[in-house]
Amino acid sequence: MGTGKTDRDEWIVKCPKCGRIRESCRHVSREDVRRIVRLLDAGVEVYQADEERESSEPHLHEPVRPVAQLVTPRYTMDDLVLAESTKEGLLDALAELRHKGLMYRRWGLKKVVKKTKGLSLLFAGPPGTGKTMAAEAIASELGRPMHVVNYAQLENMWVGETEKNIEQVFRAAFEAGAVLFFDEADAVFQRRGVMATPWMNRDVNVLLSQMENYAGVVILATNLARVMDRALDRRIDIAVEFPLPDAPLRRKIFERLVPSEAPLAKIDFDALAAKYQLSGGSILNVVRQAMRSSLRRGKRHRITMEDFTRAAERELKKSALLSTDHLQEAPRRERIGGYA
Ligand SMILES: Nc1ncnc2c1ncn2[C@@H]1O[C@H](COP(=O)(O)OP(=O)(O)O)[C@@H](O)[C@H]1O
Ligand SMILES: [Mg+2]
């Protein structure tokens, strides 16, 4: 490694994000500079600063910007209202994570797999069914922080940067002992398809191999399990399905999400749960909307059944508006079951 002070830069990069800088920045590394010509379209300007310098000198390692968001888990397993099969999957995961030492050492699993494996989970189901919440609950049951990543944050227009971000994300999560949570993981994995460019495929490969070698806990959440890369199948240890709640579960979710302090008129939650096929996330919206419409009449008024009914009708229309076909389809049990 050269000493930073005497090093002279080979290039000066003008980054459209942070202006004119020397050497490299959070957005553009030196390796990228070699490829930058291809990226001129994006508005990058590159100046050759010192033609005499050798390019083989290794450059100082810039700290890579954090691309994961640190989340202190707020939810516990008790906050979740889940179908039996969903709960089973989560409890299996927790059993292994709590007794990993026992499984791998005393029960000899380490001899069979040759290393202490991490645990990878896939949470698949429509939006608002509690996937994010469940990831938080797992982290809080283990007393770990959670690192949340989504592909939009990982993806970088500069070739090579995404790959570095992925590696950085795994390293940082491992060092922090955090549960690593990839939200909207389908966005990453469906890249390896028609529209993918060669380097995008490479990013997916990097992600898969990181997962394979990761010794910590990684959770992928997706609304679209079936568009996920097939190569993912064997990297997933436990697949957990998050179906839309049925009427009895919806009833329980209403109970959970309507605070006992809320001034309610007589509300027939059984009827609401039976009539409106809503996800947990939508039920939360309904509760908030019912409060709002009651407040519009004044603070002293109770929240009425009518407030809830109207809010539910509205929420149903909203989800019809927002959802596309693939989100409406019933989750494919056989396929998902095959992961585990
Ligand atoms: N199974 C559930 N049990 C209790 N509350 C839920 C459940 N699913 C969703 N919710 C409510 O909806 C909100 C959004 O859920 P979230 O976990 O973000 O869904 P997803 O990640 O599957 O889209 C939660 O914060 C919670 O208030
Ligand atoms: Mg979520």
Question: Six-digit token pair at 99?
Answer: 């007794």
Q: Which CATH number fits domain 247-322: 1.10.8.60, 4.10.80.400, 3.20.20.70, 3.40.190.80?
A: 1.10.8.60
Residue of 90, 133, 254, 282 with the most ligand 1 atoms within 8 Å of its CB, for mutation: 133
- DSSP-H helix ranges across 241-338: 247-257, 269-275, 280-297, 305-322, 325-328, 333-337
Residue 267 contacts residue 303 (beta carbons within 8 Å): yes
Give the model's pLDDT for residue 331: 44
The pTM is what? 0.75
Check if the beta carbon of residue 178 is closer than 8 Å to that of residue 139: yes
Ligand 1 site, CB within 6 A: 80-82, 127-133, 221, 242, 253, 256-257, 280-281, 284
The CB density around residue 276, as the number of other CB atoms within 10 Å, is 20
SS3 149: strand
Q: How far is the CA of 184 from the centre of ligand 1 (A)?
A: 15
Distance 147 CA to ligand 2 centre (A): 13
Give the CA count within 13 Å in the CB-facing half-sphere of 119: 26
Give the CA count within 13 Å in the CB-facing half-sphere of 61: 5
Given the candidates 3.40.50.620, 2.60.40.420, 3.30.450.20, 3.40.50.300, the CATH classification of the domain at 69-243 is 3.40.50.300
CA angle in degrees (0–180, nearest 5) for 198-201-202: 90
Domain ranges within the chain, ordered by starting residue = 1-63, 69-243, 247-322
One digit per residue, pLDDT tens: the chain, 340 residues?
Answer: 444 444 444 566 677 667 666 666 777 676 666 665 566 667 766 666 654 444 444 444 544 456 788 999 999 999 999 999 999 999 999 999 999 889 988 999 988 887 767 899 999 999 999 999 999 999 999 999 999 997 777 777 777 788 888 899 999 999 999 999 998 887 766 655 555 555 556 777 888 889 888 999 999 998 876 666 666 777 889 999 999 999 999 999 999 999 999 999 999 999 999 999 999 999 999 999 999 999 999 988 999 999 999 999 999 998 777 665 444 444 444 444 333 3
First CA to last CA distance, the chain:
46
Per-residue burial over 289-320, b if 16 or more Cβ lie within 10 Å, else e, is bbbebbeeeeeeeebbbebbbebbeebbeebe
Q: Do the domains spanning 69-243 and 247-322 agree at the CATH topology level?
A: no
Q: Which token pair is 173?
A: 């999560």
3-state SS class at 82: coil
